[in-house]
Amino acid sequence: MLAERFLLRGMTPEDARSAARRQFGNSTALKEVRTEMTSFVSFTTWCQDLRFVVRAQKRSPGVTATIFLTLVLGIGANTALFSVIYAALLRPLPYRDPNQLVFMTERWTAGNDTMSGADLEYWRSHARSFETIAGLYAFDKDINIDGESVTARIVYFSGDLKHIFGISPMLGRGFLQDEMEYRATGEARRVALISDRFFRQRFGGDPVVLGKTISLTSFPVTVIGVLPPDFRLAVPGIFGPPAQTDVIINNQSSSSASTQSWVPGSGLGPRMQAIGRLRPDVPLQAARAEIEVIRSQLKQQGIPQAAWYRGNRELVMMPLRDRILGSSRLALLTLWSAAGFVLLIACVNVANLLLARAAARRRETAVRVALGANRGRLIRQFLTESTLLAFGGGAGGLMLAHVAIRFIVNFGPAEIPQLQDVTLNLKVLIFTFGVCLCTGLISGLAPAVEGSRSDPGKALKEGGRAGYGPWRHPLHDLLVTSELVFALVLLSGAGLMLKSLWVMRTQVAAIAPDHVLTTSLNIRVLPLPDQEPYLAGLATRINAVPGVRAATVIGGGRAQARFPGLPAPPAEKQAIFDLVSVTPQFPAAAGVRLLSGRWLSDKDSAQARPVMVVNETTAHMFSNLYPRSGPIIGRQIDVGRSFYYTVVGIVSDFPRQLDAEQVPQVLVTHWQWPREGLSGLLIRTSSDPVVIGRSLQAIIRETPRVGIKPLTTLEDQMTEAIAPRRFQAGLLIAFAVLAMLLAMVGVYGALSYRVAGSLHDIGVRMALGARRADVLSLVLGRATRLAGAGIALGLVASLVLTRLMSSLIYGVRTSDPLTYVAVSFLLIAVATLAAYLPARRAVRVDPLISLRYE
């Protein structure tokens, strides 16, 4: 290059420019030389800055290692969480035009959002906002493959996979037109498509699987195709969380399934959910309005409805991504925010350490200023140092993120969509690069500005005493306080989550679930008159099995109840009751206690006076609404039937859903409130439930057409229900502990530097008569005041921010005083411990040595 030709001759940049002007005059070549020399000088200066930074880090390896480790933890945590966020929230679903896919159903029971298959067909034929609508029904079920029983996620599907998702089978064929259509008469032709994962795990990737027969409980299914590897369908099941689909079966109904006529509006027919593909020019709200009109048309037809289908039913319509995410969106964003707080603490920590090191180098900086260095040059030097450290921490953070991602993928809950696809891809690397750059600028800005303000005369006059006392620099106090504020916010959130888990485990332990088996039955294939006798006979046979203490059948529903003769409560205090249809063995099987009155018995038959039992929550609600009306026992309750039920007893609460607040429950006998189609089964045993479960399987499967969910223990089911919250709480606690340790390091580092820079001042105080206790109280008192300020501000921030995560907390108020008091004392203890070592060093100062340079 022309510029290098002059500079490498040993000339200064000014001499090189003069020589170039004499040789080239005002020609274009001169402009080129000027540009090249400017770039070369900038590059040379930048290289000098890098060499200086490397030498500076070698002079204080302990501080450098602390900064590096701090940045590794902060950047690594954010990189790992962003990888999950990108896979679950930002990356498009692996379908054609995924933004046009809409999930639809009707909400008519707690935790069981389904609609009639006949109604779905009516929507499909009358809705014009959709290109196509498909029905689906997802659940876990045992299937038989070559004599081996395997539990798989099954999806009954009525529609064209290619039109809905834009995919075709990798092997074999898709559903034919007559295999996709819903039918209420005629024999069903059952065929299946299997996922690539299931194809490789269960069949070894052998193409001979095409045409193979696999057996469900009630009918055989022929495998006709294998789906492509990148296609995954993970909608929540009817009875459980989202899971990767293994087998997709065409949904057709046989004429033998029911003697009723399944017509739209009756509620009869198979239970379904729906996925629709919107037309490109139709917004979601317009499609919702059209479906509401269609639903109102069905209501106006005056068709007699099944008992469980009567009443108000809410339309549920949302983008398919929102359905797949469920509550995972808020949980992931909360965890990412926690990781962001950790990174902020890391930035503040690094800024504090760099600021302290800049103060310790005041004399060096003053000499550079005296020799002609301008402020911009010094700021660039400091920012180069912080940015280089940030990128070094980012490199280590990527390695930490790789390990963390493997942990999250292996132990994360199934509710997180596309979790198995989380990797360190290009977009994650770009995010990490941006985080490193921002971290370097943020953490280096305060030291750069403060260090560049050095006064050469004052700094050189102080000589070897250049330093600062623990009472002189408010910027350090601000940084330390902010660390403590961020740490307290994370500790508060983690404390609330931990207490929430404790409340859940307490409720689980109260019903002794370790010897209880549970399953769900689908008896819709039986004629309506045969369903109740079947359930009663099944419970009787199971109760007669040796080792079974009690077995009960449970049906579920919801009802808007009121108390006749009493004024209706305000709208905001009205509650939806959880109506539970049970057999008389329910208390012994479920572990609930009778608190007052009597329990239901065999005498409470369909011909007897209608009675019901309520739970504690219902009794408390009644006493709060009507404090002068006496006890609830003996009161009548209207639940929308043609007659009233009389309350005869109160039992303890039974948590049917662990991740939701306890709701009012009313319990009736299954004779006086028969439930159609879906029923639960609870079996309490006196010995190992797994061993007894094997003999119970044969009894339950005596009627092969009845669908059954695999038997599991209630303890395992509840543990699985708690698993997502336990995972969230575990990560949040890990972030909180990490934030606390970083804050501890920050307090220790700041006070250590300040004590080291204040040895002269401490020596003067001790020479003038200050005792060691005075010096100790000076340093510890400063740390305590900083902790107090951080706690005061942190409590305010916590009370505001923890409200955003209220839906993630169960059984605990976000303003729980015990939690805030506990984390406040913990943070004070941490700050005091971090200040103890610098304080101990301060009291050991020898006045003669500290005043040697005076």
Name which residue leads in pLDDT, 559 or 678: 559
Residue 647's pLDDT band, with cuts at 50, 70 and 90, is very high
pLDDT of residue 130: 93
Residue 253's pLDDT band, with cuts at 50, 70 and 90, is low
- State the pairing for strand pair 112-113/247-250: unpaired
Tokens of 721: 């229900």
Q: How many Å apart are CA 848 and CA 854, to the nearest integer?
A: 10
Q: How many Å apart are CA 236 and CA 238, to the nearest integer?
A: 7
DSSP 236: B
Mean pLDDT, residues 544-557 taken together = 82
Determine contact, residues 684/515, Cβ cutoff 8 Å: yes
pLDDT of residue 690: 74
Query: Which among 435, 491, 387 is positioned nearest to 797, based on CA atoms?
Result: 491
Residue 740 has pLDDT above 70, yes or no: yes
Determine contact, residues 20/30, Cβ cutoff 8 Å: yes
Mean pLDDT, residues 651-658 taken together = 76
DSSP 806: G
Question: Hey, what amino acid is at 279?
Answer: R
Query: Which among 366, 369, 354 is positioned nearest to 441, based on CA atoms?
Result: 354
Give percent of the chain above pLDDT 90. 6
- State the pairing for strand pair 516-522/712-713: antiparallel
Residue 240's pLDDT band, with cuts at 50, 70 and 90, is low
Query: Which among 208, 223, 232 is positioned nearest to 95, based on CA atoms?
Result: 232
Residues paired with 272 in a beta bridge? 115
Mean pLDDT, residues 697-712 taken together = 70
Determine contact, residues 483/834, Cβ cutoff 8 Å: no
Query: Which among 323, 381, 389, 380 is positioned nearest to 353, based on CA atoms?
Result: 389
Tokens of 370: 């005296």
Checking phi first, is residue 395 left (phi over 0); if not, alpha (psi -120 to 50) or beta? alpha
Q: How many Å apart are CA 104 and CA 628, to the nearest integer?
A: 45
Residue 675: count of CB within 10 angstroms of its CB:
24
Give percent of the chain above pLDDT 70. 74
CA 559 remoteness from chain centre: 31
Q: How many Å apart are CA 524 and CA 707, to the nearest integer?
A: 9
Residue 315 has pLDDT above 90, yes or no: no
Residue 543 has pLDDT above 90, yes or no: no
pLDDT of residue 752: 73
Mark 216-235 as b/e (b = at least 16 C-beta within 10 Å): bbbeebebbbbbeeebbbbb
Determine contact, residues 309/267, Cβ cutoff 8 Å: yes
pLDDT of residue 278: 94
Residue 505: count of CB within 10 angstroms of its CB:
15
pLDDT of residue 41: 45
Question: Hey, what amino acid is at 717?
Answer: Q
Q: Which pTM value belongs to this model?
A: 0.75
pLDDT of residue 6: 45
Residue 15's SS3 state is: helix
pLDDT of residue 30: 47
Torsions phi, psi of 153, nearest 5?
Answer: -85, 115
Q: pLDDT of 96-150, one tens digit each?
A: 898 999 999 887 644 467 888 788 888 888 889 999 898 888 877 777 777 677 7
pLDDT of residue 255: 38
Residues 6+ apart with CB under 8 A from 681: 517, 518, 519, 520, 521, 538, 539, 542, 551, 552, 553, 554, 700
Residue 671's SS3 state is: coil
Question: Hey, what amino acid is at 511?
Answer: I
Determine contact, residues 712/516, Cβ cutoff 8 Å: no
Question: Hey, what amino acid is at 680?
Answer: G
Q: How many Å apart are CA 799 and CA 308, to the nearest integer?
A: 43
pLDDT of residue 367: 65
Q: Which residue carries 């340093």 as its tokens?
A: 779
DSSP 111: T
Residue 470's SS3 state is: coil
Determine contact, residues 156/251, Cβ cutoff 8 Å: yes
Residue 267 has pLDDT above 50, yes or no: yes
Q: pLDDT of 375-392, one tens digit each?
A: 677 777 777 778 888 888
Question: Hey, what amino acid is at 847?
Answer: P
Torsions phi, psi of 23, nearest 5?
Answer: -80, -40
Q: How many Å apart are CA 16 and CA 146, to the nearest integer?
A: 87
Q: pLDDT of 174-183, one tens digit each?
A: 888 777 766 6
- State the pairing for strand pair 191-194/548-560: unpaired
pLDDT of residue 383: 79
Residues 6+ apart with CB under 8 A from 720: none
Question: Hey, what amino acid is at 252?
Answer: Q
Residue 257 has pLDDT above 50, yes or no: no
Residue 32 has pLDDT above 90, yes or no: no
Q: pLDDT of 551-600, one tens digit each?
A: 888 877 777 778 888 887 776 666 678 888 888 888 888 888 889 999 98
Torsion of Cα atoms, 274 then 276 then 282 then 286, to 10°: -10
pLDDT of residue 287: 93
pLDDT of residue 110: 44
pLDDT of residue 469: 42
Residues paired with 145 in a beta bridge? 148
Q: How would you class 27 by CB atoms within 10 Å of its CB: exposed for 0-12, middle for 13-18, buried for 19 or more? A: exposed
pLDDT of residue 540: 83
Sheet strands (E) in 35-113: 101-109, 112-113
Q: pLDDT of 804-853, one tens digit each?
A: 887 788 778 888 889 999 999 998 888 888 877 777 776 666 666 555 54
Torsions phi, psi of 597, nearest 5?
Answer: 80, -145
Residue 657: count of CB within 10 angstroms of its CB:
13
pLDDT of residue 349: 82
Residue 237's pLDDT band, with cuts at 50, 70 and 90, is low
Kindly report the average pLDDT of the chain as a whole number. Answer: 77
Residue 718's SS3 state is: helix
pLDDT of residue 452: 62
Residue 11 has pLDDT above 60, yes or no: no
Q: pLDDT of 751-803, one tens digit each?
A: 777 666 666 666 666 666 667 777 777 777 777 888 888 889 989 988 888 88
Q: pLDDT of 177-234, one tens digit each?
A: 777 766 655 566 788 999 988 898 888 888 888 888 887 766 788 899 999 988 888 7
Farthest CA pair distance, the chain: 118
Q: How many Å apart are CA 520 and CA 513, to the nearest integer?
A: 17
Residue 358's SS3 state is: helix
Tokens of 376: 């911009």
